[in-house]
C-alpha cells in the first residue's frame, strides 16, 4: 500500500525559499502523477501543482512564478520549492498521488499526513 511522507523545515524566514520533500513508500513513483496541495490555518485547500514521473509539470498560475516541483525517481521522492515566501504562505502542505481512471477522470487518492510550514522571522 502506497504511503506518502512530507519532510522539511517547519519554519522559513520571509523572502527565503520553502523546500519540502515527499517520500513515496510501498510502491514506485513511476507511472503516476504526484501533487502538492496546501491549506492555510483555518482555511480551505489550494492546489499548488503536480509532476509526472517523467518530470513534466503543471502549476497553479497563481503560484507558477515562484514554484518548482521536481522528481527523483532513484530516491522515490518528489519535491516542492516555493521562493520569496511571505506570511501568506504559512500553511499545512500535503503531498498526494493523482490517480487516473478511464483515461480522463482523475483524483487524489493517497495523501501524506501533511507538514506545517510557518513563515516568520
Query: Minimum distance from CB of 50 to other proteins (Å)?
Result: 8
Q: Which residues bind other proteins (CB under 8 A)?
A: 44-47, 58, 60-62, 94, 96, 101-102, 104-109, 111-114
| Shortest separation between residue 13's beta carbon and other proteins, angstroms | 26
- The residue behind cell 518530470 is 55
> Which is nearer to other proteins, 10 or 61 (by Cβ)?
61
DSSP letter at 10 equals S
Q: Which is nearer to other proteins, 60 or 76 (CB)?
A: 60
Q: How far is the CB of 23 from other proteins (least distance, A)?
A: 15
Q: What is the dihedral of CA 79, 27, 38, 50, to 10 degrees?
A: 60
Q: Kindly list the distances between the CA atom of residue 94 and the CA atoms of 16, 37, 103, 109, in Å, as whole numbers in the listed order.
A: 20, 5, 25, 12
Output the smallest distance, CB 74 to other proteins, in A: 26
**H helices present in 48-105, as ranges:** none
Give the three cell numbers for residue 104.
480522463
Q: Contact, 94 vs 39, CB < 8 A?
A: yes
Amino acid at each position: 500500500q502506497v504511503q506518502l511522507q512530507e519532510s522539511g523545515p517547519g519554519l522559513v524566514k520571509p523572502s527565503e525559499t520553502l523546500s519540502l520533500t515527499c517520500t513515496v513508500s510501498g510502491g514506485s513513483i513511476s507511472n503516476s502523477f504526484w501533487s502538492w496541495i496546501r491549506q492555510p490555518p483555518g482555511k480551505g485547500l489550494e492546489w499548488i501543482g503536480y509532476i509526472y514521473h517523467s518530470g513534466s509539470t503543471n502549476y497553479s498560475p497563481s503560484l507558477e512564478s515562484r514554484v518548482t516541483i521536481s522528481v527523483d525517481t532513484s530516491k522515490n521522492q518528489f519535491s516542492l520549492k516555493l521562493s520569496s515566501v511571505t506570511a501568506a504562505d504559512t500553511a499545512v502542505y500535503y503531498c498526494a498521488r493523482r490517480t487516473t481512471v478511464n483515461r480522463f477522470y482523475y483524483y487524489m487518492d493517497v495523501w501524506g499526513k501533511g507538514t506545517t510550514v510557518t513563515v516568520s522571522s
